[in-house]
Structure 1
Amino acid sequence: MSEITKKLLENTSKPLGAPALLVLEDGAVFSGTSCAAQGEVFGEICFNTSLEGYLEVITDPSYAGQIITMTYPQIGNYGVNREDCQSEKPALRGLVVRDMCQVPSNWRSELTLPDFLRENNVVAIEGVDTRALVRHVRDNGAQRAVLSTLDTDAESLLAKVRASESIVGVNLAETVSRSEKATFGIDDLPKTQAFALTAPAPAKYKVVAYDCGAKLSIFQNLVRVGCELTAVPWDTPAEDVLAMNPDGVFLSNGPGDPDAVSGTYTQVEKLLGKVPVFGICLGHQMMSKAAGAQIEKLKFGHRGGNHPVMNLRTHRVEITAQNHGFGLLFPTLGELIPEESAGETEHRDDLRFWVEKCVAPVVRNEKFGRIQLTHVNLNDGTAEGIAFLDIPAFSVQYHPEASPGPTDAHYLFTAFSRLMDGREDYLDIDIAADRLAGWKFGGEVNA
C-alpha cells in the first residue's frame, strides 16, 4: 500500500488494517490488510461468483475447511441481518475480498460484516487483487492455502501450508452436522422475511432430513411446501429413520469429500426403495455413492449464483446457485440402456452430448434398476441431477433455495412434494410458472 493511500485512509471512516498475507501451496502470494479477526488459518482456497448474498455464503456450512474468495469487488455494503444466516455460526476457515465495507446501508441491517466476522472469530483479508487470484485458481486448480495476520513472511507461510492437511479424505460433514435430532415447522420461519414471502402451505408431509451441514433456508423451503421436518445427525441409522414412518427422506447439502462420509451413504443405500428420497448437493453425492457410483474432484469446483443447467426432461435451462468441489461421474452408475437413450450405447465424458441430442439417457444400475440423467451443467458438461426410475428418488447437485441465487430451481421443492404424492411426472414442472411461487411480487403466478 502506497503512502498516499495510507494517508487517505487515515482521514476516512475506514480504519487501516494490519498487514495480512495469503499464500497458496504452489507459492503464489497475495498481500492485503486484515479486516476482521486476527489469526492464522489453513484451508482449501476457492472462489464464489455471486453478486449478492455474501452473508448466506459465509454462513453456509458447506464451506467448512475452505478459504472463500468473493469475486464481487465490494463486500458488506448492506450489512448483516442475523435471520438471513444459514447456520448458527460460520464454518469457513477464512475470507478474501477486494474491498470490505465498514459503513453498510440497509434498513434490515443489524451490524457491519466486519463486526460479525470478528464476533465469530473469522480471519479475513482485503485489498487483494481478487481477479488475479481467481484466474490463478482457475488455471492451476484448487489447492491448500494459508491466511495470516500474525506471520507475514511468505517463505515461512509457504512451508506451513505445504505441511497442512488436505480436505480430501476428511469427513467434514460430521464437524457441521447436528448432534441430536430437532424439528422444524411453520413457527420456525424467519419473521423478517414475511414482507417478501407468501404464507407457507399447511403441513402435509412428515419428512426426516439428514443434516450433513444443511443450510437453514433449504429446510425453510421444505417447510413452505408443506413438509414437517425432523432433522437428524449425519450418521443416523436407516432403521431409526424408518421407525419414524416418514412420508419422505431428505438428504442435505454439506462440505468436503463425499467418499469420506460413509456413515451417511451406507444408510442411504438402506433407505432407497423403502421411502421417497430427495437429495441436494452432498445429498446428491450420497445417493450416487449408495448406487455404487464414483465421485471425482473438480479442478476448481462450482460456486456462485450464475451456473446454467439444462433439465433434460423439460429442455428448460435453469440459472442455478452452486457450491461444491466434487461431482458424480455419471457413466459409473451403469451401462446405457439403448432403447431409452436414443439408441446410444457408448457413454460420453462430456454430458453436453445429451443436451445437443435433447435426450435424458438412462443406465441400468446393479442395485436400483434404471437411473436417468436429468440435469447437465452447460459450462463444463458435468452431471447435475439424476432420477431413479424404478424407485421414488431423485437428486440434484446444486442449491435450489435461492439463498443466495436465482429462483429458477425452486420447482424442485414442489417436485419432492409431488414425489411423495406418488406422481410419476413429479419432475416435469415448467420453471417459468414456478420460479416466483411463494413470492408476494409474483402476482398471478402464486395463485
Structure 2
Amino acid sequence: MSQISERLMRGVSKPAGAAALLVLEDGAVFRGTSCAAAGEVYGEICFNTSLEGYLEVITDPSYAGQIITMTYPQIGNYGVNREDAQAEVPALRGLVVRDMCATPSNWRSELTLPDYLREHGVVAVEGVDTRALVRHVRDHGAQRAVLSTVDTDEASLLAKVRASESIVGVNLAATVSCDAPHTFAELPASHEFAVAGGAAPRHRVVAYDCGAKRSILENLVRAGCDLTVVPWDTPAADVLAMEPDGVFLSNGPGDPEAVEGTYVQVEQLLGKVPVFGICLGHQMISKAAGADIEKLKFGHRGGNHPVMNLLTGRVEITAQNHGFSLVFPSLGALVPELSGGFKGHEDDLRFWANAHIAPVVQNERFGRIQLTHVNLNDGTAEGIAFLDIPAFSVQYHPEASPGPTDAHYLFTAFTRLMDGRADYLDIDIAEDRLAGWTFGAQQATVPGATASVTEGGR
C-alpha cells in the first residue's frame, strides 16, 4: 500500500478499542469495544430515543446513577461544543452506543465526543447491538448493570452487578445539586446565531437545584426571571425570606421518595408563593400533596413523546427523562361536577383524553387539583394544576435541550402565574414555540464566550 493510501486509510479509520462487556443483573450479556475512558462502572441501564442532542443527554444531571444506551446508531457526528453541555461535568455512570464517531464535522465543534468523555473519565462502549439491548430492557424492565473495560469475565461481572446498589431509595439529587445559593444569568454567546437575548428581568425567582439542566435555567432567564439558585434542601423559611415572586422546582435524578429534604420544604411553600415544577420538581409537588409515586417499567427518555393538554385538546411532542411517575388517583377523590360527572378513577389516564375532560380531585392538603396533561403512549400523568393555590407542574422537559419546542409555553405560563393571571395556561402553543428564535438573523459569535457570568456555583 502506498504512503498516500495509508494516510487516506488513517483518515477514515479508527483503531479498535479494548474489549468491553455490559452485563445486566438478569444475566443478559452484550459485548463491544471501549471508545472512551477505561474502567468499571455500575448503574441502572436505560435508553434514550433522541435522534440528536447526545451531548445534552450525556450531561443532563438527571442521569446520575444510570448507564445510558442511545438508540440512534451513530453518536458523536457533530462533535462537542462545551456551551451546549447541561452541567459542568457529566453525572451519568456510563454510555452505550452502536457506533461512536471519532472524526466529527460541524462548524461549532470544539472536540470529539470520545475526547470529551475521556476528559471527564466516562466509561463508554461501542459495537453493541443496541436494538437487541433496548428490546431486552423494554421486555424485562430497567435493572442494575455493570459496564467494564477491565474485567471481561461474564460470571465475575454478573456476581458483581447482583451485589451492587440499586438507585431505588437513594437520594441522587443531593449528589448533583449546587453547594450554595448563587445567582444565574448566563446565556451562551455561541447560541446567539439562533436564539435572541432574554426579556428584561421582572420577576424574582428562587430555583431549587435538584440537578437542574442549564437550559432550563436559561429559559427562565429568557422569560424575564431574576434567578437565584439554591441547594436541594434549602429550608422554606430561607426561601420565603428572599421575598421571591415565584419558586421553581427543577428536574433531577433518581427516586423521588428519597428526596424528602425537598418535598417537605415544598409543602411549606405551596399556597404562600407561586410554584412551578418540572420532572422531579413535578414529583416533589405531588409528594408535598401526599401523592404516591410509582416506578415505571423502563421510563420515558427521548424527544418524541406525545402528551395531550387536556385543557386545550392540543397534543405536544415532548422531551422526557424520568423513571418514576405520579399516581394521579392518590391525590384524592374525583369531584364529579368538575370531572364530566364521572365518580370513579381510571388507571389508564388516556380515558380522560378520549373523553376530552380535565378531571379534578379534592386533595386533603391543598384543595382542588386538576389533571392537565396525559401521556398518550401509556396513559400516565404528565401535568397537574392546583385550582385553589398558585401552583402547577409537568413531568416532561419544556426547555427542548434536546427535543421539540412544543412545550416552551410553560415558561411563559409561569410568568403569567406570577402576574396573578387565572388564565396563565391559556396560551397559543403554536405561536409561543417559536418565540425567541432568530434562525441565523444574527451573526454567530466565537464559541467559548458567554453573554454574562454566573456568580457562585458548584
Residue pair 1:36, 1:124 contacting (<8 A) in 2 also: yes
Structure 1 gap segments, 5+ residues each: 1-7
Please report how far the alpha carbon of residue 198 of structure 1 lies from its aligned counterpart in structure 2 after TM superposition: 1.5
Query: Normalising by structure 2, what TM-score?
Result: 0.94
Q: Choose the corresponding residue for 1:220, options 218, 221, 230.
A: 218
Correspondence for 2:446: none
2:321 corresponds to 1:311 = no
Residue pair 2:193, 2:439 contacting (<8 A) in 1 also: no
Larger RCO (CA under 8 A, 6+ residues apart): 2
Q: Choose the corresponding residue for 2:356, options 349, 355, 358.
A: 358
1:172-191 → structure 2 map (5 Å cutoff):
172-185=172-185, 188-191=186-189
The verdict on how the C-alpha distance between 1:9 and 1:300 changes in structure 2, with shifts beyond 3 A counting, is farther
The verdict on how the C-alpha distance between 1:42 and 1:317 changes in structure 2, with shifts beyond 3 A counting, is same
1:100-119 → structure 2 map (5 Å cutoff):
100-119=100-119
Residue pair 1:23, 1:29 contacting (<8 A) in 2 also: yes
Structure 2 gap segments, 5+ residues each: 1-7, 442-458
Residue pair 2:370, 2:387 contacting (<8 A) in 1 also: yes
Correspondence for 2:419: 421
Which secondary structure state, in structure 2, belongs to the residue aligned with residue 264 of structure 1? helix
Runs of 4+ in 1 over 6 A off after TM superposition: 8-11
C-alpha root-mean-square deviation of aligned residues, in Å?
1.2
Correspondence for 1:279: 277
Residue pair 1:9, 1:15 contacting (<8 A) in 2 also: no
Please report how far the alpha carbon of residue 15 of structure 1 lies from its aligned counterpart in structure 2 after TM superposition: 1.6
1:288-437 → structure 2 map (5 Å cutoff):
288-437=286-435
- Structure 1, residues 145-190: CA drift from partner, whole Å, max 9, x if none? 00000000011100000000000000000000001011012xx100
The verdict on how the C-alpha distance between 1:167 and 1:46 changes in structure 2, with shifts beyond 3 A counting, is same
Correspondence for 1:3: none
1:433-444 → structure 2 map (5 Å cutoff):
433-441=431-439
**Counterpart-to-counterpart distance in 2, 1:366 and 1:220:** 35
Query: Normalising by structure 1, what TM-score?
Result: 0.96
Please report how far the alpha carbon of residue 429 of structure 1 lies from its aligned counterpart in structure 2 after TM superposition: 1.0
Residue pair 2:48, 2:69 contacting (<8 A) in 1 also: yes
Residue pair 1:276, 1:392 contacting (<8 A) in 2 also: yes
Please report how far the alpha carbon of residue 223 of structure 1 lies from its aligned counterpart in structure 2 after TM superposition: 0.2
The verdict on how the C-alpha distance between 1:287 and 1:104 changes in structure 2, with shifts beyond 3 A counting, is same
1:187-266 → structure 2 map (5 Å cutoff):
188-266=186-264
**Counterpart-to-counterpart distance in 1, 2:189 and 2:11:** 40
Residue pair 2:249, 2:277 contacting (<8 A) in 1 also: yes
Q: Which moved more, 1:422-431 or 1:61-70?
A: 422-431
The verdict on how the C-alpha distance between 1:226 and 1:370 changes in structure 2, with shifts beyond 3 A counting, is same
Please report how far the alpha carbon of residue 280 of structure 1 lies from its aligned counterpart in structure 2 after TM superposition: 0.1
**Counterpart-to-counterpart distance in 1, 2:341 and 2:283:** 28
Please report how far the alpha carbon of residue 199 of structure 1 lies from its aligned counterpart in structure 2 after TM superposition: 2.2
Identity of aligned residues (%): 81
**Counterpart-to-counterpart distance in 1, 2:440 and 2:222:** 16
- Structure 1, residues 215-266: CA drift from partner, whole Å, max 9, x if none? 0000000000100100000000000000000000000000000000000000
Residue pair 2:193, 2:440 contacting (<8 A) in 1 also: no
1:32-51 → structure 2 map (5 Å cutoff):
32-51=32-51
**Counterpart-to-counterpart distance in 2, 1:11 and 1:355:** 53
Amino acid in structure 2 at the alignment position of 1:101: C
Which secondary structure state, in structure 2, belongs to the residue aligned with residue 47 of structure 1? strand
Amino acid in structure 2 at the alignment position of 1:268: V
Please report how far the alpha carbon of residue 12 of structure 1 lies from its aligned counterpart in structure 2 after TM superposition: 4.5
Which secondary structure state, in structure 1, belongs to the residue aligned with residue 407 of structure 2? helix
Residue pair 1:76, 1:100 contacting (<8 A) in 2 also: yes
2:73 corresponds to 1:73 = yes
Which secondary structure state, in structure 2, belongs to the residue aligned with residue 415 of structure 1? helix
1:96-175 → structure 2 map (5 Å cutoff):
96-175=96-175
Amino acid in structure 2 at the alignment position of 1:310: M
Correspondence for 1:4: none
The verdict on how the C-alpha distance between 1:299 and 1:431 changes in structure 2, with shifts beyond 3 A counting, is same
**Counterpart-to-counterpart distance in 2, 1:344 and 1:441:** 47
**Counterpart-to-counterpart distance in 2, 1:385 and 1:24:** 33
Please report how far the alpha carbon of residue 13 of structure 1 lies from its aligned counterpart in structure 2 after TM superposition: 3.1
